Amino acid sequence: AQSVSQHNHHVILSEAASLELGCNYSYGGTVNLFWYVQYPGQHLQLLLKYFSGDPLVKGIKGFEAEFIKSKFSFNLRKPSVQWSDTAEYFCALSSGGYNKLIFGAGTRLAVHP
């Protein structure tokens, strides 16, 4: 069965600190991987996606993620966070371009000025 694990449920950082949120998945076949973000009071938005090709993908707002197949990981990174990055971040996978998304539990990030 497919599953997604996010290791950090709550992360607190100061502005300008670097961010790395862990995401590991369980699935033996080809996967598509996503990071979504939910800002307070807003709807879920796509940060970045990996379908194939370059395993280092860049998304909006300076975020990037690296797909490491051997580690079944797709960690999210940002070199310098801002207060406006305060949000909940969800890692998700699908096993096809159309297919249902399996979400991780989410990570709540709080950035203090």
User: Which spans of this chain sit near other proteins (rule: CB under 8 A)?
Assistant: 32, 34, 36, 42-46, 49, 51, 90, 94, 97-98, 100-106
- H helix or E strand, kind and range, residue 84: none
Q: Which is nearer to other proteins, 18 or 26 (CB)?
A: 26
Rounded Cα distance, 55 and 65, in Å: 8
Instruction: Report in angstroms how near the CB of residue 13 gets to other proteins at its nearest.
Output: 21
Which residues 6+ apart lie within 8 Å of 45 measured at CB? Answer: 36, 37, 38, 39
Cβ distance to other proteins smaller for residue 2 or 73: 2
CB of 17 to other proteins, least distance (A): 25
17 or 24: CB nearest other proteins? 24
Q: Given the complex with other proteins, which of 75 and 94 has the nearer CB atom?
A: 94
Burial pattern 37-71, b for ≥16 Cβ within 10 A else e, equals beeeeeeeeebbebeeeeeebebeeebbbbbeeee
Kindly state the smallest distance separating residue 57's Cβ from other proteins, in Å: 12
Nearest distance, CB of residue 106 and other proteins, angstroms: 5
